[in-house]
Amino acid sequence: MSLLVSVDEAEFTFLVQTTKAAKGNVSIQLSSLQNAGYIVVWKANRNGKQRTLCRITDKGLQAMADYTEALRSYLPL
């Protein structure tokens, strides 16, 4: 989610490479986030190759803002 906050959209391979997580783990996380309504996922063709893209939703942005605020309340400043 923190990666998706900073970009308009992200390709599946970008998420795998950036997080250094296994493809299966990223896929499961994306499915969970999509089911929660935090992201949208779609397929697109580029130069004849299919790719998977995702984008954070307004609900996802609000969830991240709430999470960030909760973290701030736990940290001594």
Per-residue pLDDT reduced to its tens digit, 19-56? 999 999 999 999 999 999 999 999 999 888 999 999 99
All domains of the chain in start order, with CATH: 2-74 (1.10.10.10)
User: What is the pTM for the complete model shown?
Assistant: 0.87
CA distances from 35 to 28, 29, 40, 47, 49 (A): 11, 10, 9, 29, 26
* Percent of the chain's residues with pLDDT above 70: 99
pLDDT at position 53: 97
pLDDT at position 26: 97
| 58-73: average pLDDT | 95
